[in-house]
Each structure stands twice: as structure tokens, then as C-alpha cells.
Structure 1
């Protein structure tokens, strides 16, 4: 663990943004290569750019972290490891990872480089942190929803560095668990290609499809801003203060980094805070961890940059408008005139000076009463760019030089623990005319303006009456600086050998008959289920009530306990206690979060990896089985081709979701809280909409939302129905098939039971019912997948 108090971690989507972060005073930068990055639309860095970035940053005492934070396909694993080997060799300080199979490969191979668990790994509590610590990771990047008390627990009970987001755009869904963009249009956040459906408008309908609320941006979060509380986050245990923004411009990076640095050093003022707002904002939230909820968290009126409110249009005569201003406008400023959500944007062609009322002519049709926002400030951008063009020093160097007649001149430089010694072949001569004095030598040795160094102590030893050409002294200084540069750029790492045999999986599949597993959510559905036709019954662990227990005992039924995707430590332990207290009722558990691996370690019960663990390739399946899992439910983002590859070695140990609604978002936020103006989660249990409601998008698609305690789940608008595809999976030898059932339980079980038994079947009745309710059924990713349009 680092001994320093904090690290400011800046984003970089381009080399210019990297430079901006460093010049603003960051301690580390995170960026992505041309592949394997969760910001595929950013400019990103070629291999050559990455090497240049490492050299630039290390010279300036800044670390470089490279994102390999997507789910990786079987066909990409060798390339991902080869890319990581390159990063290792050029001195990258750490990689940020999501994919479980890749992560454990990387940890085993690249011991000299830190591995950081990405926020895409969805770690939000102590037990999740303990899991990745056991994997050998050095740092955990916490989910943005992580509670402050959990941060303190992780600090106290692990040796991990803790990284947390402090500023910028927020995902409304727990990162790594959002499938909404993927299921709607095959653009997956888990592949860095999210289409941001959270930034769209939605209506609210009740369960009978009656309209409850008009269109708003109900799941579009404000931007996080903790500039007033960042020191408290450090005190809680956040070491690395992460700024979101790899899609942002260099000016944004500079402003945010410099302002947070000032805040930590108690130097931030109102102008800095206003500049933070001016550079970009969707409105600001203090974050869920600071108690914001509902309208305090969601930018429900608009999803984009709103700038700073500077005035109002108070009157109009023909094409002349009177603007009432509380801030000056300069030529080149971006302005927006907004009236009840209708906006007109333009670039200013005037200077208002200090006038409070300004006459403004335009042919644009602006409504009197419009609010005036400054969406960009030419003055601020010019100020930032001036600073970006200034030279800066980052390291103090102490110099000792010796000049003896008829000997080679010698220079020693000491900087941040490194000492270099250099000499040149030119001999020091006895002066024939004007001798070289100490002051002139000192002046030449101090000329470090084009380097990253600033001269500290200078100690010069010289004979009397000497002479050396100025060019020779400059050559001596430059040679020492170059040697010092190489020491800062270099990373001493043991050589590695990547044996290609590690990619070979040769496991023998044990053939057995196909099995039907069903997930249901309540006692009524349990009662309607013919348990004799199914292999396993999946049931939420936190919905085990006395009535459920009585029914299980009466019918002599055992369940598979499904753990939730997200809980804090207290809630997770409560679920664990239900398991312990009713151990005889469960024959296995389904785990949906890395935290549950740590908590259930050593518990003698069959473990199944559910979709929350994002098993996307053979290597992740292999890792999970080696951890003691009995089988693995594959990611619903896999297509037929990918599943076929995995099935070659693991057909008897994998499970495919074949029917039902897929959860596409899991979040703390409740969309209904925006409409009802809820201030917290205290009334969630009593809320009449707790049974569910629908979000309706602009295309008329309806997404079911269910609120369970302090978590909401959004389900895909169309249920998956693979009745016609299951036989293909059976031909691959796949044994286990999962149904997510909310309706037509008996009919659905009978249908898929017949399919798995090889009997003739007719799926039209169920299909027609689902189409009537949901508008359509879908094959999900059976054909398309999420690999940039690759299909079967």
C-alpha cells in the first residue's frame, strides 16, 4: 500500500489531455490503448503513443495506468496478453482490468506490474475487496455507489489501495452490469461501446400500462462533484482520487485536476469552483454515497452540458433583444437561450462589458423569458491554454561539478534518489586570456529551461585561471541530464516468458442428459411450479420468508439460493445468515458478485456462478471452476459462435439462459423517485409502485422496473425465447438451461421440458402470449453478439 496521503488520477483520451493532466499537477494518468478499453470512442493511444506517454509521465514523476477493462473473447486472449507484455516492457505502472479470466492470467504472468480491479468488476463492499486482494491485486477501483462506511472497512481490513471516482459523469447502473445498450442495439458497455440509453427520455407507466408521468430524463445522472468534500473522502480511505473524462478535451482535464489539487491543499476559491462548473456540467450531485437521491441525483430536465446561468431575455423589439446579465459576455463565448427545454445555441459575436442590460441583435427566434446560459467561456479557455503552453519544472536537481586543469571535467547530478556521473573528452585548459569564473559556470549549469528539471544546490570545484568553451559545458550538462532521464524512464523488471501452452484448454466433457433450471421470484410462482419437471429451482435468498420455509418443508423441496448482484456488507451478511439458518433447505447457491466468493469461502455447499460474474470466455469459466464452482451461467451477451467455442471444453459445466426477461440495469436509483420527489429510500417498502412499473422510451418500447429494498432492476423490453434454438445448444453437449419466469410458469416448464426430452413441441401459444404483452420476443444475442457486429 502507498504511504503517501493521496493520488490525483487524471483521465487522458489523447496525448494533449495527458499533458494537460500532468501540467495541472496530477500524480497519475489512466488511458487506453487502441483495443481492450472501455472507452472505445476516445482517441486512445497506439503502442508507439503509449511508450511516449510512459516516458513523458515518468520523467515528470507521474504514473501511467492502462485500461484493459472490457470483457475479452476467447479469440482475443492471446492478443490481450501480448499487449500486456508490451505494457510491462515499456514500464506501465499498472493495468486496470475487468475480465476475470484475463485478470488472473495477467496476475500470474506480470508480477512486477500492479493489477487494479476496475470499477467494471462491481466491487462495492469489504468482501468484494477481500476477494480481489486474495487474487493478488494491489488496488480496487470501487463502484461509484460504494457507501462511505464500506470505504472505511476496506481501509481498516485490507492492504489494498482504494481508488474512487470524485468528479465527472456517472453511470446510473452499477458498472459492469449494464446490458441495456447491448440488448437494445448490440452496443455493449462491457466492450466500451455503450450507446447511453440512460441519457434518453422515458415516460412512466403503471403495471396496467396506464401513463403515470410525462417524458423526462429519468435515469440520466448529474455529474459527480466532490470538490467541497474531497478531503473527507481522503480521510475515509480513498487514496486515488479518480476524475472521469477520457472523452473530454484537454482544457477540461486541466481545469478539474488543478481545482481538485487546490481543494486538497486548502487553496480552492469560489472562482475555481465556478470554473469547474463552467468547463462542463450536467448539473452536479454530491453522489449517492453522500446521500443524494432522486432529483438531487438525476438531471431529469436535460442530459447534456448546461453551462452557467448568466441572465435572462427580458424584452424584444423586432430583431433586438434586451438581455439582463449577471456576468459579462465576450466574443467567442458559447451561449444558449433556453425556454422550458426549448433551446437555441450560438457563439457570441459581442462583448457586453460590465453592462447589466445589453441590446443584442439576431435573426434567431428567441423567446422572451428565455434563460441565458454560458456554455463555454472564451476567457477561461484562453487562460487554460496559456498555462498549457508554459514550460514547467517537475524535479529539483542538485549539481556538483569539478574543473581541473588538464583533466576531463566531471559533473554529478542528484535527483529524487538517483545520482549520475558524467564526463566528456574535452580537457580543461589553462586560460590564455580571460579565465572562466565560477559565476559563469554556474549560469551555464543552471540553464535547464527546456528540461523537466529545476536547479537546486550547485557546488562547483575548479582550479584558478581555467578555460573551457561554453559549448563543452553545455555538452557536459546535457549528457548528465540524458543519463538522468533514462533512469527515471526505466523500470527494472525481470524478463518474462509467455508460454503459449497456457492458452490450451484440454478438458474432457462428461456427457449427461439435459437439465432444466427455473428462476422464480415469489411464493405464488413457487406454488404454481411443477417441481418434478425441473432440475433446480432458483429463488432469491432475501425473499425466504416463514411462509416460503413452511411450503418447502411441506413439499420436501430444496432450492438454489440466489444472491443479489449488489449489497453492502451488512445486507450481504444478513443474506448469508438466512442461508446458514436454513441450510437444510438449499442444495446450492448462485453467486452474482465477487464479494460473495470471499464470504462463502469454505462453506460446504455447491456454488454456481450467475450472470453477475460476467463469464464471457473459456478462461473465465476455467478460473471459476478451479475456484470450486460447480457450473457457470454464461453471460447473456455471448452469441452462438462464442458459446460453441466454450462448450468444446465445458459443455457439462455451463448453463445458458434460454427464456424470459433479462435484467439490463441494476441500480440504487429509482426512476419513480424523480416523479414522486423522494428524498431517500425510507418509503420504498410502502410505495405503491414497489411491485413495479414501466419505463416507455421514444420508440414505444416498455421496460419493466422492479424495486427491491434499496435496489432497482430494469428488465429488457422483450423477453428472450430460444425454444427453436435449444436443440442447437443440445447438439453442442450443453446440459443446463435456465428459464427466468414471471408468467406462464407451468406452460413454459412443459414446453422446455418437452424440448429437452426430445419430444415434439409447439411454442406458438407461449410466444403469442408474450408478444401480446411485450410486443415481441427476441433471440437476444444468439446471432449478433457484441463483438463489433460479429455474428455466428
Structure 2
């Protein structure tokens, strides 16, 4: 095994290379750390920062993760090497979990971490109000995808926003330009696995088996194979290629991105070291110097190393433009490696091939079938190659992959083979036999493993876990005494004050009082004041050594008491915030209904329903979608407005959950037309929607939320109330116990609770397009016709992929419905119910049947209740 010092022989500083043109500031490299090995791999490979999760409250619950005690050990080591540590709290929480969260926050504020990464608006509220020393970063799980979302996150106290992976470089540049006067840091993903759906807007895992991706329990349903039912085809329809922006890094630098984020808290140390090394090397080339903190970088052929670290085929995603390339891999959902040859002979359970790369014992190999599979019209004509069984075997890893044990050259056993040598390798009994001509891939490198083990080796030296606080000192003299006034604080939050005096005495040497104090107090007890100690005032006085010991004892006692008081106050304040001014909602004596639609003909259905039954909803929410509308927005909105008046109901306009640059102009025209008619009521689906309305010049106090502005806990309800919303829609992922807990301690702030009785849960909301993958490139709207694909997985579950103006919405064959629980919800205090008809096409009969079931409190036929009657994990 190579030692770390041997690896350091390969370190390059590049100080003697020609300096490149400076095109902007050097962005940070933020690396994932799912465990200790990954932490040290990131540290030694040159990362500026790592992000990691605690044993709870993070979106990678199945990673190794870290305890508070781990952080007390590792954060000082990181800081000593100039590396920051960020902690992920990036899931949605239930009310019953806040006690534990508050306890963890009280510990985190003293560990010295750089920031916490947050998705839940309720968590953000508690951190901002009661743990203000903790810097907040908005997680990509918040689905911030435009300048409006960034601006709103900044207003809510976030100092950095991790933007959606789907953003183009042009959009990133626009965000930087628009927010130049109100700076907020922008963090963008540069590498790693991609979700088919916008992060934070995936409900597939939660709806299917209660394992919510918003709660760190993703079941990776996007990696499964699916068969297309309404036309030829099958494959991994939602399995994204991996993001690799290495070749586009200069453009990200030009976009003034502050931080480059690497995905992968479930990846191993080899992956972390390789990806950090690859991006550090590229930054060094761009800037013509070593950009790593404390020159922590090393040199290898990272492109080749990447082939031996878990990754799928790669894509630049939308960085260079929407649908610039095919971003879905229909054929392969997992790591393939570097092709090293083709099977030339199969002899019993041995394969013979000529290797194009060195092979040694314990390297990993994979042999794939030669046939291309899992495609459809028009890419491969009417003959669809392969079958679902092959796809299932790939998904379950029932393929010919193994670690090399026995290898022969010219009939003799050998520990390694070189390029262009003919090798004979024995296959394990459990793997299927390949065929002549099948390609062979090297998936793991034993040599790279040794390098990584050296890089990831934990440091033996342990540094003391210190509380980093700020200390301001003011010195003056009066009546023959020198007096020091101390103020200790934690990132601006006052901890303690103290006053210390001794007989005044002028110094006999050149040393000043400032030097004496900084030398004596920069480090004592478990306080680290080295970089945070300021001394002002009359400093021409002498501090006798005899006074130093007493000063440190007195000051240490005062600061320790201040820390204990501050911690206790933070905990008590946070817990009180979760219980004050709350009580059970009284039973709702009357119910009101909101109907949400996205097609004009549904208004006619409602008019007919009123003629037949006398019923009309209290509100109609209309979400404009180009895929379903034709005509001028002014004409369409006027028609909707008149029909709403005829029904005697309020017309509310929805700002869509996803509002990209190409969507904004269209939605803005509908808002303008609605406003001219006197409309002032809006339904918000994203944290940036309110900011968008303000930017367009529309100020209103009549705002409600859709369920994608999550209110899984009452702290989030309060935060939405503070944003001016008068009604919040509870999540379709939530379970009955969690909902009833909220209703029994509902904030007394005038915010109503709304529950969705019926909806097609958008299992995926995506910019990625399966039709583009099937056609091997965007076929254009004339060819694809925005048609809906009907698909089925191996378990026989059926789903639909709707294409709405180049957005993909995946929903189940069965809709979500809890209409038969309506009376129970009314008894718990819910008086407002939503019936949602988005995405799925309805005829008059189907529309009427859903309304009948919801209004009578009966179960909608052929529907499911998702997690309502089971526990949301």
C-alpha cells in the first residue's frame, strides 16, 4: 500500500506553468462525505469544503453519516487544513421530530461548522429565530430554479442557495446579474447522479411505498425498467445519465458560481477523491495556478480513474441549453466502467481476450451482452430489441460481473497482465456465461484502490474540540487602575460581558497590552479566540503575569456560564415556538371546496354540474398550461372570468410550481390579463412565486399555497403565514397521524388548513423527456405531439408520462383520493377541501364522478389513499 507521503510525491503546485487569463473568482469545490473515509479523501484530494449528514435529519439516511462526537473530532482537523464543514438538515420534518432537532441544533452551534443545509421552511424558521449563529443554505430540495426563488430565499435568511440541477449556464448568469446588488451565494451542482424529477418534487417513492425522497428514504424507482404499453418500446425510461461538467467548467466560472457541488454522499472514498481531483485539476488549468487550499492537490489521470469509480454514462445536462443532448440512458442504469477488450473465446468457465488496459488480481470486470437493447420507434424501427427480462437482470445486477481471482498468461498463473496481452480469466460459478464478441469492461482498479486508501487514511493527530467564539476587549484607565471590558459573542449573538481591573502600570518594554492579551487569551480552556479577538482603547499599559491567571479563570467562568445560558435559552425558545399560541382546531361545521383545473372545457363541466346539482365550488383555481390552451391570454382569461361569475365563485390564478425562463413570459401574460379583470387571488406552488409576482408589479394579500410549498409541520405553517399566505394546502405525502398532530396544535395566526381530497399525484415533475430518449434526440413538437406514454413496471404497476410543452409529468394509473376520510378531517377542524383535476384528461362523466364522490364523502373509484392510512417514513 502506498503511504500518503508517497502520494504527495505526485502533488503539483503548477506555480511554474504559464498563468492563464483570470476570468473570475475561483469557485469552491464542495465534496460529499457519507462517512469518515470519504471525509479524509475529500480533505487530502483538495476540497474546499465537505457536506455531510448527521445520523438523522438528512436526505441520505442510508449513508454512514456522522454523530456530534464525530464532528467535534473532525471539524478541527478540517479547519486546520483550510476546509469547511457543512451539515445537511435537508428533509421535511414532522412536528414530533422537532424536539430532537432542536437538541441537535443546540449542539451544532458550538461545533464550528460553516453552515446547515435546509429544505424545510419550518426548520429554517427555528434556526433563524433561535439559533441565529448557524448560517443557513437553501437545499436544492427547495426546488429553487429562478431568480425569484433565490431572491425569496435571501429574504427568508438564507445566505446561499443550492439551485436546481436543471438550470442552464445562461440562467445562472442571469441570476448573478439580477442579484448583484443584493448578493447571495449561488451553489450549483457540477458532477454526480441526476434525479429524473426536480429535486424536492419527486413523489414516486413516497406515493408507492411511503419511502419519501423528501424524508431521506428514496427507493430509486427512477432506476427501474419500464415497458411501454401504448407503443413499442421498453427500457430505463427515467434513468438519467450522470452529470459531468468538467468540459464546461470555464463557463460555470464565467457565470460567477460561488460553489461547485459534487453529488455523492452514498459514494465511496475513491469516487470522492477522483472527482475532487478532476475538478481541482481543471480549475488549476483555468486559473494557471494551484487553486487548492494549502496546496492540497495531487496529479493523476483522473479521466481514466473516473471510469473505475461508480458512475453512469455522462451528460452536461441542460448547461448548454434545454434538450441540447439526450440525458436519459435507456440501456443501462448503473456503472459500466472502461472497455478493455472483447471476448474471443469461452472455454468452460474461462474467457479469453486481448486486454487494452493493464489488469491485475482483484480488479473488477463486467461483461455485457453485445446486442443493443431497450429502444423503440423511431430509433430502431418497429423491431424493438431485447426484452424486459434483460432489463430486469441489469436492474437486479444479475449480469456477468466479478472480481478477478485467477488469471493466466500463456497457461501460467499471473498476478497481472499488461496492455496488448492475451489473458485467460476464470469466472465465478454464480455469474452467467458470456458469448464470443461480448465487450469486457474494467469497473474497478485495485491500483486506484491502494491510492485511495492512502488518501483516505484518517490522521492520527487529534486536535482539541474548541468552541469558537468572538471576544471584543476595550481597555482604559481611571483612578490608578487599568480596566478591561470584555464582550463575548457567537457570530453577533451576545454570550457574556465581564470587567477586569488591576493597578495601572506602564510597560517597560515595547510589548503592548494588545500583544499580551492576544498571546494569553487566543487559546485557553476549550475556547478558540485566535481569529476572533479584537482589542481597542488605551493600550499603553502593562498586564503583569500574576494577573493573567486570575483573568483567564474569571473570564473562563463567565464565558462558560454565558454559553450554558445561551444554549438553554435557544433550546427553550425553539421548543416554546413549537407550542405557543396553538390549540386544536374546532370541528368544521361547514365545508367549502376548491376545484383546480388546467383546461378550459372543465369550466363547462362545472357549469353543467351546477345546472344538474346546484353545486358550485367556493373557488376555482386555474393553472395556465400552453399544452392545453390556444388563443390570446386576454380572451381566455375573460372567458374564464365570466364563467366563474356565472357560477358565483372566485377565480384564483395559479403560479406553476416550475417557472423557468421560457415559461415566465407566457405566465406573466396570463397574470396581466387576470389582473386587468380585477383578479387578485393567487395559488403559489413554489417558494419563488410570491417574489415573481412582486417583480412583475403585482402586490396582493390574497395568496394560498399548493401542497408543493410544504407544510409538513406547524413551524412551516407559521413561516408560510409570515409570508402572507392565508391558506396552506397539506401534503399528499402526509399520513393521518401526522396531519391530526398538526391540526391538534394549529398556530393561532389566521391561516387555514386545506386538504386535497383528490389529485393525480405528480410522481415526477421533470424537464427531462423520455420521448427525447426514445427518439435519440428531441423530435420536435410536430413529431412527438406531446403524446402521453402508458408504462408498466415488473410488478405490473401502471403509470402515465404526460408531456406538457416539453415538461414531463408522471402519474399513476390510479389517482390519489381520501374523499372517504372527509368527515373525519372535518371533525378535526378542516373546513376547506381541494379537488384537483390537473394533467389527466377528463370527460364530463369522469369529472362528474369525481365530484360526486368528494361531495358525498365516498371513495373515488379506482383510487388509492397513498400514505394517509399508513406511516410516512
So what's the TM-score if we normalise by structure 2? 0.73
- Aligned match of 2:242: 223
Q: CA deviation at 1:697?
A: 1.2
Closer/same/farther in 2, CA of residues 126 and 587 from structure 1, 3 Å limit: closer
1:385, 1:319 → 2: CA distance?
32
Listed as ranges, the matches of 1:45-84 within 5 Å are 45-84=66-105
Asked if the contact 1:33/1:50 (under 8 Å) is kept, the reply is no
**Correspondent of 2:762 among 647, 654, 663:** 663
Q: Structure 1 residue aligned with 2:208, among 184, 192, 195?
A: 184
1:550 deviates by: 5.0
Contact 2:127 2:134 in 1 (8 A): no
Do the aligned residues in 1 keep the contact of 2:226 with 2:236 (CA within 8 Å)? yes
Q: Secondary structure at the match of 1:663?
A: coil
Give me the TM-score of the superposition, normalised by structure 1. Answer: 0.80
Q: Which residue in the other structure is 1:289 paired with?
A: 319
List alignment gaps of at least 5 residues for structure 1.
396-411, 413-417, 424-485, 756-761, 772-776, 788-792
Distance 1:506 1:421 in 2: 48
Q: 5 Å matches for 1:22-421?
A: 22-158=43-179, 159-205=183-229, 210=230, 212-266=231-285, 271-291=301-321, 293=323, 296-339=326-369, 340=371, 343-349=399-405, 350=407, 351-362=416-427, 365-389=433-457, 420=519
CA distance in 1, matches of 2:348, 2:302: 39
Q: Distance in 1 between matches of 2:194 and 2:856?
A: 46
Q: How far is the alpha carbon of 1:695 from its aligned partner?
A: 2.3
C-alpha offsets along residues 464-511 of structure 1, whole Å, 9 cap, x if unaligned? xxxxxxxxxxxxxxxxxxxxxx9xxx9x99945222322224257585
- Equivalence for 2:486: none
Q: Output the CA distance in 2 between the equivalents of 1:198 and 1:657.
A: 25
**1:141-189 CA deviation, whole Å, 9 max, x = no partner?**
0110112122112222321111111111111111111110000011010
Residue 819 of structure 2 aligns to a residue whose secondary structure is coil
Task: Find 1:9's aligned residue among 7, 30, 38.
Answer: 30
Give 2:709's aligned residue.
613
SS at match of 2:719: helix
Cα separation, 1, equivalents of 2:729 and 2:458: 55
Q: 1:292 deviation in Å?
A: 7.0
User: In the alignment, is the contact (CA less than 8 A) between 2:25 and 2:253 conserved in 1?
Assistant: no
Q: Distance in 1 between matches of 2:784 and 2:167?
A: 28
Q: Helix, strand or coil for the counterpart of 2:334?
A: coil
Q: 1:520 aligns with which of 597, 600, 604?
A: 597
| Alignment partner, residue 867 of structure 2 | 781
TM-aligned CA distance change 1:691 to 1:387, over 3 Å: closer
Shift of 1:366: 2.3
CA shift, 1:420, in A, is 4.9
Distance apart, 1:371 and its partner CA = 0.6
Matched, 1:548 2:641: no
> In the comparison of the two structures, how many residue pairs are matched?
674
- 1:374-411: CA deviations, max 9, x gaps? 01011121223234459899x9xxxxxxxxxxxxxxxx
User: Which runs of structure 2 are paired with 1:487-526 in the superposition (5 Å)?
Assistant: 495=566, 497-498=569-570, 499=573, 500-507=575-582, 513-526=590-603
Q: Tell me which of 580, 586, 591 is aligned to 2:684.
A: 591
The structural deviation recorded for 1:20 is 1.0
Q: What's the CA shift for 1:572?
A: 2.7
**Cα-to-partner distance string for 1:64-104 (whole Å, 9 max, x where unaligned):** 10000000111112321221121111111100000001112
Separation in structure 1 between the aligned mates of residue 235 and residue 62 of structure 2, nearest angstrom: 27
Residue 536 of structure 1: aligned partner = 619
Tell me, in whole angstroms, the C-alpha distance in 2 between the residues paired with 1:325 and 1:57. Answer: 42
Query: For residues 293 and 569 of structure 1, what CA distance do their matches in structure 2 show?
Result: 15
Classify 1:354/1:746 alpha carbon distance in 2 versus 1 (closer, same or farther; 3 Å).
closer
8 Å Cα contact 1:34-1:45 kept in structure 2: yes
1:685-706 CA deviation, whole Å, 9 max, x = no partner?
A: x344514222211112111221
- SS for the counterpart of 1:625 is helix
SS of 2:233's equivalent in the other structure is: strand
Structure 2 unaligned residues grouped into runs of 5+: 1-23, 289-297, 372-389, 408-415, 464-510, 512-516, 523-555
* Residue matched to 1:751: 853
The 1:573/1:291 distance shift into structure 2, 3 A limit, reads: closer
Distance 2:152 2:640 in 1: 33
1:581 aligns with 2:600: no
Q: What corresponds to 2:651 in structure 1?
A: 559
- The offset of 1:32, in angstroms, is 0.5
Take 1:702 and 1:123, find their aligned partners in 2: how far apart are those partners? 30
Q: Equivalent residue of 2:154, what SS? A: helix
The 8 Å contact of residues 652 and 735 in structure 1, kept in 2 or not, is answered as no
Contact 1:213 1:675 in 2 (8 A): no
**Within-5 A mapping of 1:413-452:** 420=519
Q: CA 1:314/1:618 → structure 2, altered by over 3 Å: closer, same or farther?
A: same
Deviation track 1:763-788 (CA, whole Å, cap 9, x = no partner) reads 5xx51xxx3xxxxx21122111313x
Match of 1:758 in 2: none
Cα distance in 1 for partners of 2:450, 2:192 equals 22
Matches of 1:362 and 1:624, distance apart in 2: 60
SS in 2 for 1:95: strand
Cα-Cα RMSD: 3.0
Write the distance in 2 (CA, Å) between the matches of 1:573 and 1:214: 36
**Equivalent position to 1:653, from 748, 752, 765:** 752
Q: Does 1:640 pair with 2:640?
A: no
CA distance in 2, matches of 1:149, 1:101: 32
The answer to whether the 8 Å contact 1:6/1:239 transfers is yes
Greater alpha carbon shift after TM alignment, 305-314 vs 492-501: 492-501
SS of residue in 2 equivalent to 1:91: coil
Q: Distance in 2 between matches of 1:149 and 1:253?
A: 28
Structure 1 residue 126: Cα displacement: 0.5
- Give the C-alpha shift of residue 663 in structure 1: 1.1
- After superposition, the Cα gap between the structure-2 partners of 1:714 and 1:586, relative to the gap in structure 1 and judged at 3 Å, is farther
Give the whole-Å Cα distance in 2 for the aligned partners of 1:572 and 1:667: 17
Name the counterpart of 1:465. none
C-alpha separation in 1, matches of 2:256 and 2:743? 43
Q: Give secondary structure in 2 for the equivalent of 1:630.
A: strand
Alpha-carbon distance, 1:362 to partner: 4.4
Separation in structure 1 between the aligned mates of residue 774 and residue 659 of structure 2, nearest angstrom: 25
Tell me, yes or no, if the aligned pair for 2:594 and 2:835 is still in contact at 8 Å.
yes
Assess if the C-alpha contact under 8 Å between 1:200 and 1:697 holds in 2.
yes
1:530-552: per-residue Cα shift (whole Å, max 9, x none)? Answer: 36421111221345644633533
Alpha carbons 2:341, 2:353 under 8 Å: kept: yes
* Secondary structure class of the residue paired with 2:346: strand
Equivalent position SS for 1:90 = coil
